[in-house]
């Protein structure tokens, strides 16, 4: 076979580079040296099946989220996601709750159609506030709830029946939305509770939320003390999700981590990032605007991971003289949240 001409050799090696980039760099800690391939500037990251992600568009959208980051805290490079990633190409607007409880959030407070209509109205408001990012509706369902009593397995948590998860998945499908299954582990573990939901996490539209508030490390009772998760705990969830994505050839999963104190998440800089999982650090506190703004600054902005979220409480944020943040006001935060949750 005759040697290739120089121009063909260049094209060959460029094509090979793009293909390798698309295979991802695997999960890595933020403290590990960034592998050179993650920093390669290309116009597309592809998978062997031909699907691609436009990395220039991705970089521009990330820059737009961090536009007011004058201190440069959010310049840490994370791997490009696999094709089909939701973030940062879309903003997620979710309703949170549990069908057994009207106290846990809007998802369980209203009849189905009234709730879905209100969710549609909220997504429209976000589309108006920021027309640069399409909005996808979501139902964020608490599939494992922390309990004040030990229960049969002595783990201070209760798993919801699968028929309820089936209902939530069906409702989300009817509005072209996505689903988050949230776990409050009590005295159980992230590994055990997430593994129990694996059959649902294999579905392309189902993602995961974990709540450190109800993760009790040394035998405390949930609700009596604010819990905590370490980077190692969160990485257990990342590893499970990454394996599900790889084994089932899925688009990236979103992992939402609730947080409203520094102590709820420890060793944040050791949280893994990888092409298969998109991590949202979600500001979960309620109260007046000044308090929520300072909480976001303290617990989210100062400890960057990947993406950010912001929770709005219809009741608690509107108590007394307080009023709930509007979409326009939230878009002034740095970084701009791409996950918005209403409770």
pLDDT given at position 107 = 95
Write down the residue that tokens 């090979």 correspond to: 16
Spell out the residues 6+ positions from residue 68 whose beta carbon is closer than 8 angstroms to its own: 332, 334
What are the residue boundaries of the structural domains of the chain, listed by start? 82-342
pLDDT given at position 286 = 85
Burial of 177 (0-12, 13-18, 19+ CB in 10 A): buried
pLDDT given at position 319 = 86
Which stretches in the chain have pLDDT values below 70? 1-26, 30-51
Please give the model's pTM, rounded to 2 decimal places.
0.88
* Cα–Cα dist 303/269, whole Å: 8
Burial 300-316 (b: 16+ CB within 10 A, else e): bbebbbbbbbbbbbeee
Q: Are strands 45-46 and 52-53 parallel, antiparallel or unpaired?
A: antiparallel
Write down the residue that tokens 């990485």 correspond to: 235
**Which two tokens mark 22?**
């698309």
pLDDT given at position 279 = 98
Q: Look up residue 43 and give its DSSP letter.
A: S
**Which two tokens mark 116?**
């879905």
pLDDT given at position 7 = 41
Look up the CATH number of domain 82-342.
3.20.20
DSSP state letters, 45-99:
EE-TTS-EE-HHHHHHHHHHHTTT-TT-TT----PPPPTT--TTTSEEEEEEEBT
DSSP state letters, 194-232:
HHTTHHHHTSTTEEEEE-GGGB-SSSPPTTSS---EEHH
* Cα–Cα dist 201/70, whole Å: 38
pLDDT given at position 43 = 57
pLDDT given at position 49 = 53
What is the distance, to the nearest Å, from the Cα of residue 307 to the centroid of all Cα atoms in its chain? 7
Phi-psi region of 111 (alpha: psi -120 to 50; beta: other; left: phi over 0): beta
**Which two tokens mark 87?**
């973030």
pLDDT given at position 10 = 39
pLDDT given at position 29 = 72
- 207 φ, ψ (degrees, to nearest 5): -125, -175
């Amino acid at each position: 076979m005759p040697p290739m001409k120089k121009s063909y050799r260049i094209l060959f090696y460029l094509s090979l580079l793009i293909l390798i980039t698309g295979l991802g760099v695997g999960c890595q800690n933020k403290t590990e040296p960034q592998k050179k391939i993650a920093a390669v500037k290309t116009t597309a990251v592809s998978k062997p099946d031909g699907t691609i992600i436009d990395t220039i568009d991705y970089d521009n959208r990330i820059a737009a989220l961090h536009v007011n980051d004058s201190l440069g805290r959010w310049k840490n490079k994370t791997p490009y996601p696999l094709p089909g990633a939701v973030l940062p190409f879309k903003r997620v607007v979710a309703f949170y709750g549990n069908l057994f409880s009207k106290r846990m959030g809007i998802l369980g407070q209203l009849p189905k159609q009234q709730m879905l209509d209100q969710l549609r109205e909220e997504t429209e408001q976000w589309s108006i506030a920021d027309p640069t990012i399409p909005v996808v509706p979501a139902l964020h369902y608490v599939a494992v709830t922390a309990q004040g009593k030990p229960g049969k397995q002595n783990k201070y948590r209760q798993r919801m029946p699968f028929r309820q998860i089936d209902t939530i998945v069906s409702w989300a499908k009817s509005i072209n939305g996505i689903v988050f299954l949230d776990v409050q582990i009590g005295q159980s573990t992230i590994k055990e509770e997430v593994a129990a939901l694996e059959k649902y996490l294999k579905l392309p539209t189902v993602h995961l939320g974990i709540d450190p508030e109800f993760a009790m490390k040394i035998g405390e009772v949930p609700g009596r003390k604010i819990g905590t998760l370490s980077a190692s705990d969160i990485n257990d969830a990342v590893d499970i999700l990454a394996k599900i994505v790889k084994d089932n050839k899925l688009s990236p999963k979103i992992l939402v981590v609730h947080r409203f104190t520094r102590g709820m998440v420890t060793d944040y800089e050791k949280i893994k990032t990888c092409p298969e999982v998109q991590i949202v650090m979600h500001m979960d506190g309620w109260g007046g605007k000044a308090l929520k703004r300072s909480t976001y600054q303290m617990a989210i902005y100062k400890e960057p991971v990947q993406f950010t979220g912001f929770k709005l409480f219809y009741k608690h944020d509107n108590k007394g003289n307080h009023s709930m943040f509007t979409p326009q006001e939230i878009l002034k935060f740095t970084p701009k949240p791409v996950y918005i949750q209403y409770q």
